[in-house]
Structure 1
């Protein structure tokens, strides 16, 4: 009797083991994935978006049993690092993550961070995905650096041409931080405006500035038709717009820099304050498949993602990296990079795109997906218009 009971219990135990979700097997080993970007200060939304994207990609693969390394199913754990939008911060982050045996990094975000991380990550044998719009975001001498999306050299002209249909303009003043994260982007934006017959002027500020009154005064004195906040972080851009409106500026405001419109509206005081606005979105944000990403995050992680639409733009890179790990059977950066280069650019939520970058950087390690152009006119949000992915 006892023998039959023991056999029955063993059978039940085996059945329960077979019925356990694949994620249970991921506990036998662990792979750490870095997530880097500014997670404090005016650009915090962008860094937190990197973290949220990495978390969702990790949760998706963990629900399927994790990534396959050396024949084992390994759980992915995200380790964030606040690189504070500085070169030194990103370099320190690379070393800190390397000390935890982390070979793959989603991030960093800005041009100063990209400059700081490239040589250090190369020494550490780390693969990283930057989202910078610097003119040297990618370089052939750093083959383990990948790029999340094209910069304004690819899409600025399309945004300007669409904006001119709503807001005819002859002059624009561009505002950005006085480091590579500002100067590189403004120089490209200015070329695009000039190519459309629009006169440009430039204003720069120290990153961390909270009172833009001197800049606002100079802008009002020059009387431009439009002010463009370029690559100013969302928090800074919101303050700039608020102070411009309080000082009496009535013209449209543009943003040929990065995503963050929801945060800009919040800081500035809403649609009635912003009034007339055009901007670039890294993904077509009104596509239901794209919006579905937030629901996926909440379903798998039990909370809302942090970082706004930038999360959606950062996610494909994180997903592709983890897929490449399983294909390579290792988290060795060189092996993962080799698998990435062979993969098609195709995300279940964002759609199909291209590997680009060869023309601008000399190395085709940049993701080009469909993007969007947004318009707010007379205090009404006209939405974000989808634009096709652009090959080199």
Structure 2
């Protein structure tokens, strides 16, 4: 089962997952199927668009299990995980989240780890410091401003990031969440810039949201470093000049799969070739 946002501000994470999963499924089926107990079982994927809404996620989980008899559900997590785990636990269906913090003692069928969020959010306050003057030279702490949407993913991952920033000696000058219904991000960026931060973070803002936040930073003339969990460069570069993006460093938590650093042959290059 594939239970993710395929529409809405979170769709930029959900839609590519269909392609990624199908690459894996096609590779497994070419061998005759998934080997379980000495028997190979062909894989099939059934999809449901939960729009990152908890109630729709529960509706989707019921449909996938009761109508299609799925035994494994691939998902993003967060609010949807909170909603579906009682039903999936009773049904003994595995739910694979991207958010490792979704794992809890009362969720025996929830797994995570393919993505290391929010642990990777702990690293960026440390990495960003490498590109700024030392606090000792400035005579003050470096200033960190961070925002993300007000949901389970945003609240959890931002808390991990802020904790790390404090441990790294940053002064937290802005630590707030915007409503999931926000469409105008100008006031959000204005408020962040008013704190005179050395670095702005958009934490785990949804793909649509982070694009609009970057656009506002450009329009309002922000000149510091920008970082976040994930940056959608293809979308962002339709809103901002490439030079502005480069000047802001654009530090995120994921490498490009087609980075020459991986070399050839490599699993990353093979995956990219199939994807393309």
Task: Give the TM-score category using the shorter length.
Answer: 0.7 to 0.9
Name the counterpart of 2:91.
124
Name the counterpart of 2:213.
240
Q: State the 1:234 CA deviation.
A: 1.9
1:188 to 149, 155, 160: 160
Check whether the contact 2:52–2:80 (CA below 8 A) recurs between aligned residues. Answer: yes
Relative to 1, partners in 2 of residues 1:87 and 1:156: Cα closer, same or farther, differing over 3 Å? Answer: same
Q: State the 1:250 CA deviation.
A: 1.3
Q: State the 1:266 CA deviation.
A: 3.2
Check whether the contact 1:238–1:267 (CA below 8 A) recurs between aligned residues. Answer: no
What pairs with 1:156-195 in structure 2 (closer than 5 Å)?
Answer: 156-168=121-133, 170-195=142-167
Check whether the contact 1:42–1:234 (CA below 8 A) recurs between aligned residues. Answer: yes
Check whether the contact 1:110–1:130 (CA below 8 A) recurs between aligned residues. Answer: yes
Distance 2:270 2:120 in 1: 25
1:46-66 deviation per Cα after TM superposition (whole angstroms, max 9, x unaligned): 112322222111100111222
Name the counterpart of 1:145.
110
RMSD value over aligned CA atoms?
2.3
Secondary structure, counterpart of 1:227 in structure 2:
strand
For normalisation by structure 2, the TM-score amounts to 0.84
Q: State the 1:285 CA deviation.
A: 6.2
More relative contact order, 1 or 2 (CA 8 Å, 6+ apart): 1
Q: State the 1:98 CA deviation.
A: 0.7
Distance 2:166 2:158 in 1: 12
Provide structure 2 residue ranges, at least 5 long, that are not aligned to the other structure: 134-140
Secondary structure, counterpart of 2:145 in structure 1:
strand
Q: How many equivalent pairs are there?
A: 259
Relative to 1, partners in 2 of residues 1:263 and 1:36: Cα closer, same or farther, differing over 3 Å? Answer: farther
Name the counterpart of 2:51.
84
Name the counterpart of 2:237.
266
Relative to 1, partners in 2 of residues 1:59 and 1:260: Cα closer, same or farther, differing over 3 Å? Answer: farther
Distance 1:264 1:182 in 2: 21
Q: Does 1:104 align with 2:72?
A: yes
2:195 to 200, 218, 222: 222
Relative to 1, partners in 2 of residues 1:69 and 1:216: Cα closer, same or farther, differing over 3 Å? Answer: closer
Provide structure 1 residue ranges, at least 5 long, that are not aligned to the other structure: 1-33, 298-303, 305-392
Relative to 1, partners in 2 of residues 1:105 and 1:283: Cα closer, same or farther, differing over 3 Å? Answer: farther
Name the counterpart of 1:41.
8
Q: State the 1:167 CA deviation.
A: 3.0
1:299-353 deviation per Cα after TM superposition (whole angstroms, max 9, x unaligned): xxxxx4xxxxxxxxxxxxxxxxxxxxxxxxxxxxxxxxxxxxxxxxxxxxxxxxx
Q: State the 1:280 CA deviation.
A: 0.9
Q: State the 1:72 CA deviation.
A: 6.2
Q: Does 1:203 align with 2:203?
A: no
Check whether the contact 1:42–1:208 (CA below 8 A) recurs between aligned residues. Answer: no
Check whether the contact 2:147–2:201 (CA below 8 A) recurs between aligned residues. Answer: yes
Of 226-235 and 165-174, deviating more is 165-174
